[in-house]
Chain A
């Protein structure tokens, strides 16, 4: 099958593979520790680890957009900030 119309590039492929691996990782985590580990964190409502992954990914997307809009096109620092943010979300939310 010819997928050239999808215009794949190495960075976008890496991006989607990372997302896919995260989902697989969450599946494995759920298999060994079922129930989603629900808890009430600093947002004052119950979140499961799936919710925390969603909040991490969505927040990371906005961190990158904010960095692009306010600072510049070098996104490595935005990526670092997003990783710190995601760790914070999984730890405190």
Chain B
């Protein structure tokens, strides 16, 4: 019988493995090494064991940042996923509107993260920003620099503006792949708009929604640049997410050991939650 596989194909994977080793595995190993040691610079390290992990697990600062991160990710998913589906459902499927909508949707995704932060930082200012000045002129007591609630609203709206397009484009890709025959059959059966969505469009979008939920969860849970540029983690610590706290600790305070321990705990939580999302959504698909 003829051989149906060829082990030489593994050679084709080798470049990717080397790339992943240099970009992920070696840095991860280094972080693990740092997490059990202390250093004062000069490439000199002193064994600390599990001390930094214990310190992190008993740190109010760490758990507060974790709580803020989880709340932020939950809000982002609760807004962006339904909003993305809604916009995708209302986008045109043919005609000149398609390229226009696609380009408009892609625009926020093309802007570098620090530029998005700068745009919103200026946009929200009450002295020169269009949003901040207008709200202030209308009598709203809006000031993201002083008010934690306003800072949160600004960061959330900024993220929604920046990333909902990704969900839209993914959902749209799922929607355009549905053959017209499905809609024709639904029409013959007299299916309502809701029934078409629930039994045709949503199941067909499930794969892309899985990717959208995973990407948006991981991105929002690791968010750094935009809130750092807009609020710098403030006012106080109200928008200090884990990544901002981590950079403060590693770069600002040069506490590499505690920062490495925090990175590993952070990494494990991202890994666990991503695995839970992935497992739940793929198995829901299998059960269906």
Contacts of A61 in B (CB 8 A): 268
- A7 and B50 form a contact (CB under 8 A): no
Q: How far is the CA of A4 from the CA of B36 in the complex (A)?
A: 15
- Check B191 for interface membership: any CB of A closer than 8 A: no
Q: Give chain B nearest CB distance to A65 CB in angstroms.
A: 7
- Total chain B interface residues with beta-carbon distance under 8 A: 27
Contacts of A15 in B (CB 8 A): 32
Given contacts A58-B271, A61-B268, A73-B49, contact A9 B36 (CB under 8 A): yes
- B37 and A7 form a contact (CB under 8 A): yes
Contacts of A46 in B (CB 8 A): 283, 286
- A5 and B54 form a contact (CB under 8 A): no
- Check B53 for interface membership: any CB of A closer than 8 A: yes
| Neighbour of B58 across the interface among A7, A16, A54, A69, CB < 8 A | A69
| Neighbour of B30 across the interface among A5, A58, A73, A75, CB < 8 A | A5
Contacts of B91 in A (CB 8 A): none
- B271 and A6 form a contact (CB under 8 A): no
Given contacts A45-B286, A73-B50, A73-B51, contact A7 B45 (CB under 8 A): yes
- B39 and A7 form a contact (CB under 8 A): yes
Q: How far is the CA of A83 from the CA of B279 in the complex (A)?
A: 23
Q: Give chain A nearest CB distance to B60 CB in angstroms.
A: 13
- Check A8 for interface membership: any CB of B closer than 8 A: yes
Which residue of chain A has the shortest Cβ distance to B265 in the bound complex? A65
- Check B43 for interface membership: any CB of A closer than 8 A: yes
Q: How far is the CA of A73 from the CA of B55 in the complex (A)?
A: 11
Contacts of A45 in B (CB 8 A): 279, 283, 286
Q: How far is the CA of A46 from the CA of B26 in the complex (A)?
A: 32
Contacts of A69 in B (CB 8 A): 54, 57-58
- A9 and B37 form a contact (CB under 8 A): yes
Given contacts A61-B268, A68-B57, contact A54 B275 (CB under 8 A): yes
Q: How far is the CA of A5 from the CA of B36 in the complex (A)?
A: 14
Within 8 A of B (CB), among A3-49: 4-9, 11-12, 15-16, 45-46
Q: How far is the CA of A6 from the CA of B260 in the complex (A)?
A: 12
- B50 and A68 form a contact (CB under 8 A): yes
Contacts of A16 in B (CB 8 A): 29, 32
Q: Give chain A nearest CB distance to B21 CB in angstroms.
A: 12
- Check B47 for interface membership: any CB of A closer than 8 A: yes
Which residue of chain A has the shortest Cβ distance to B27 in the bound complex? A6
| Neighbour of A12 across the interface among B33, B53, B265, CB < 8 A | B33
Can you list 6 contacts pairing A with B, beta carbon distance less than 8 Å?
A7-B33, A9-B47, A12-B36, A45-B279, A58-B275, A61-B268
Nearest 6 CB-CB pairings of A with B? A69-B57, A45-B283, A7-B33, A7-B45, A6-B30, A12-B33
